[in-house]
């Protein structure tokens, strides 16, 4: 009760009842200067759509989410956050500007997630925050400098945009995201953890700038079971602003992808055999 009174006092001090108060089953305390509200609307089919909005009640909307613990076992783990009983009602998650993080295990096990909307203020996503979920899209991760282990493990993302300041891709971060079509590893990345990209689909592509020479092998192939679909590691270098693979030059990664693309490195014997037969295409094969 004391916490509720404190939060209410903070809202009054700002001069407006801008946020809900945690006195019903759709309003939740979520951390330091942090309130979350679940609201419902109707889609075109008349079905309920649940939007979970996280607000900061501090100065300039600042707030910090708590981290939580999981419960259950894979693939049916779930969060112990205050909204655990409403988790399956959540379709969209909106983090308001001023919130600086998403707490660990905060949304673990959300089976009906569609979209995550992040502001520039979010710099950290906690470990396993969305594990065992159904998240299909996120507007951007390019402002997030720290992504915890397994943050998006077992989700349905098709693409992500990573920050140029991201230094580490921790273990299992994007594991078992079979819908992921392609991902570009920023030049800032210095570490890729165990199973970071485990079990991507056969047509997924992971782009890696190989400057300095050998960088990509160091990141992805330095350890056994590193978690990359190795036959889809596409290495390139940047020369005069152009993307270079072998003797071919492209204006962008998109151009590399859209071209007649037999220029990729081959890392498995199985794929080498597949490419070489039955047409007898000439390819440079690098066994590993």
Copy the structure tokens of residue 95. 């983090």
Assess whether pLDDT exceeds 70 at residue 68.
yes
Q: Is the pLDDT of residue 116 over 80?
A: yes
Q: Compute the average pLDDT of residues 40-55.
A: 93
Task: Check whether 215 has a pLDDT greater than 80.
Answer: yes
Q: What are phi and psi of 249, to 5 degrees?
A: -120, 135
pLDDT at 161 over 70: yes
Domain parsing of the chain, residue ranges: 26-235
Q: What percent of the residues of the chain are helix, what percent strand, and what percent coil, each to the nearest 5?
A: 15, 25, 60
Decide if 127 contacts 105 (C-beta within 8 A): yes
pLDDT at 55 over 90: yes
Where residue 211 falls among pLDDT bands split at 50, 70, 90? Answer: very high
Look at residue 226 in the predicted model and tell me its pLDDT.
Answer: 58
The beta strands (E) that lie in the chain are given as 27-32, 34-42, 48-56, 64-65, 70-71, 78-79, 92-95, 101-102, 115-117, 124-125, 137-138, 146-147, 168-169, 182-185, 191-192, 205-209, 233-239, 242-245, 248-250
Q: What is the pLDDT of residues 73-112, one digit of tens each?
A: 988 899 999 999 999 999 999 999 999 999 999 999 999 9
**Which of the residue ranges 110-124, 209-223, 266-280 has the most confident prediction, judged by mean pLDDT?**
110-124
Residue 12 pLDDT greater than 90, yes or no = no
Per-residue confidence band for 249, with pLDDT thresholds at 50, 70 and 90:
confident
Burial 268-285 (b: 16+ CB within 10 A, else e): eeebbeebeeeeeeeeee
270-288 pLDDT tens trace: 655 665 555 544 444 444 3
CA–CA dist 126, 146 (Å, integer): 8
% of the chain surpassing 70 pLDDT:
79
Q: Find the range with the poorest average confidence among 67-71, 88-92, 112-116, 253-257.
A: 253-257
In this structure, how many other beta carbons lie within 10 angstroms of the beta carbon of residue 32?
Answer: 14
d(CA 54, CA 99): 8
pLDDT, greater one: 262 or 124: 124
Residue 13 in this model has a pLDDT that exceeds 60? no
Looking at per-residue confidence, does 189 or 278 come out higher?
A: 189
- Residue 270: predicted pLDDT: 62
pTM for the full model? 0.80
Task: Give pLDDT, residue 254.
Answer: 77
């Amino acid at each position: 009760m004391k916490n509720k009174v404190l939060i209410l006092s903070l809202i009054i001090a700002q001069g407006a009842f801008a946020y809900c108060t945690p006195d019903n089953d759709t309003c939740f305390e979520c951390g330091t200067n942090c309130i979350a509200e679940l609201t419902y609307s109707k889609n075109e089919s008349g079905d309920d759509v649940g939007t979970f909005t996280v607000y900061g009640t501090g100065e300039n909307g600042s707030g910090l989410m708590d981290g939580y613990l999981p419960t259950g076992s894979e693939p049916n783990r779930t969060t112990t956050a205050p909204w655990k009983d409403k988790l399956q009602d959540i379709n969209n998650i909106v983090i308001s500007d001023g919130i600086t993080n998403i707490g660990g295990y905060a949304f673990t096990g959300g089976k009906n997630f569609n979209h995550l909307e992040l502001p520039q203020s979010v710099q950290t996503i906690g470990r396993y925050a969305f594990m065992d979920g159904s998240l299909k899209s996120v507007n951007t991760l390019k402002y997030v400098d720290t992504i915890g282990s397994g943050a998006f493990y077992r989700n349905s993302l098709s693409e992500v945009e990573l920050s140029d300041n991201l230094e580490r891709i921790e273990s299992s971060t994007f594991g078992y995201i079979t819908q992921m079509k392609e991902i570009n590893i920023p030049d800032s990345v210095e570490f890729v953890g165990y199973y970071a990209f485990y079990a991507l689909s056969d047509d997924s592509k992971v782009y890696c700038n190989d400057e300095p020479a050998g960088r990509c092998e160091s990141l992805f192939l330095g350890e056994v079971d590193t978690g990359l679909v190795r036959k889809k590691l596409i290495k390139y270098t940047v020369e005069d602003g152009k993307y270079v693979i072998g003797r071919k030059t492209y204006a962008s990664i998109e151009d590399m992808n859209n071209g007649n693309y037999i220029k990729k490195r081959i890392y498995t014997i199985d794929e080498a055999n597949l490419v070489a037969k039955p047409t007898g295409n000439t390819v440079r094969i690098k066994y590993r």
